[in-house]
Amino acid sequence: MIRNKSQRDLTLREIASLKGRLADLRKREIRKELRDLQASSLRKMLRELENQVRVYREAERGRVSHAVLARLLSPMQAAGRPRIGEAMVLLRLARGMTQAELARKLGTRREVIARWEREDYEGYTLESLQRIFEALGCRLALRVRVAG
């Protein structure tokens, strides 16, 4: 996931590189099956990176789609675990806030926000999540389902 302008620029360079590799692949004299397989892999990577840039740019413009948030926050759609940090980054960007500004609003340090936004962070409490999402202009709703 793209988290800042520097990463966005790096991703745009990688997209250009992948497009160049695709163009070069078309010129190579290799078996059609092999070329198609390689091209398919490159196109898949290209689509994923272009989607990341699209989502980041939408957030920069102040928009985060409900579908993107649902995909990030639903354990069923997010490989078994909600990606809360990624949702926080997008919502913060959409609100035009830096980590430092969000930290001030929550009465904490920027380093705490950076930790909360990490992909591998799992130490959220319900209280902290409620405060975070309220500061980002959202309402936290908890749903419990009986397993089975």
DSSP string, 16-81: HHHHHHHHHHHHS-S-HHHHHHHHHHHHHHHHHHHHHHHHHHHHHTT---HHHHHHHH-TTTTTTS
pLDDT, residue 77, reads 59
pLDDT, residue 42, reads 96
pLDDT, residue 147, reads 77
Q: Taking residues 78-87, what's their average pLDDT?
A: 82
Give tens-digit pLDDT for 93-139: 999 999 999 999 999 999 999 999 998 898 999 999 999 999 999 99
- Work out the percent of the chain whose per-residue pLDDT is above 90: 78
- Work out the percent of the chain whose per-residue pLDDT is above 70: 97
**Dihedral sign, CA of 117, 142, 59, 47?**
positive
This prediction's pTM:
0.84
Q: Which residues contact 4 (CB under 8 A, 6 or more apart)?
A: none
Counting Cα atoms < 13 Å in the Cβ hemisphere of 122 gives: 2
* Residue 78 pLDDT > 70: no
pLDDT, residue 145, reads 78
